[in-house]
Amino acid sequence: MAKIVPAILETAKDGFNDQLSRICKLPGVERVQVDFCDGVFVENKTLAVTDMDVLTPTIHFEAHLMAQAPMDFLDYQICGFKTIIVHYEAYQSEDELFKAVRAIRGQGMEPGIAVKPETPVGVLEKFQADVKIFLILSVQSGHQGGEFLPQTYERIAQLRKLCPNAIIEADGGLDEVNIKQVAACGADLLVVGSALAKSANINESLQKLQEQIM
């Protein structure tokens, strides 16, 4: 069964800690995504990993790096991240991306690769021997609250056929309206940002989303 992954995208430490505290109190949450934007790869800029406190090891934290060609991942390992997701489009060549994947694994973390909405999912096929986690961005990148792109359904289904053993994440604009169909198309991890972050009752919102995918 698909699992919901709450996401945090914050520009300041206080805001990050507030969201983290809310999410960590949710029942049944095993995995949390933290978005990092460098202001170059995407126009938005978020809190840096070096400004964060060490994360609790009881939750699987993954870092989604919307950053230009990252190669040094040690600060994420020190902070407590277990998975690092980098973007296919962030590197000048696939050889450079393969180097990043090896660097992530060399520092004891699980690598993942994300693609923007305009990138064909077929580019991921050649990485499936080295990478198990693929993230399909279902909004334009860099901000929470973007509009879900309906072509995401077809993109997930296509990637599932190309990479049947992959762990597929869908990230962006997921809510009660679309989350059931996203899961049905083959997504394993459903990254939810604003539908939880902006909710007045986060527990109730999570429960309603979970009911959609049960």
- For 108-166, the pLDDT digits (tens) are 999 999 999 999 999 999 999 999 999 999 998 756 667 999 999 999 999 999 999 99
> Which strand (E) or helix (H) includes residue 87?
strand 83-87
Query: Which domains, from first to last, does the chain contain?
Result: 3-213 (3.20.20.70)
- Please give the model's pTM, rounded to 2 decimal places: 0.96
- Buried b / exposed e across 82-109, counting CB within 10 Å, b at 16+? bbbbbbbbbbeeeeebbebbebbeebeb
Residue-wise pLDDT for 18-32, tens only, equals 999 999 999 989 999
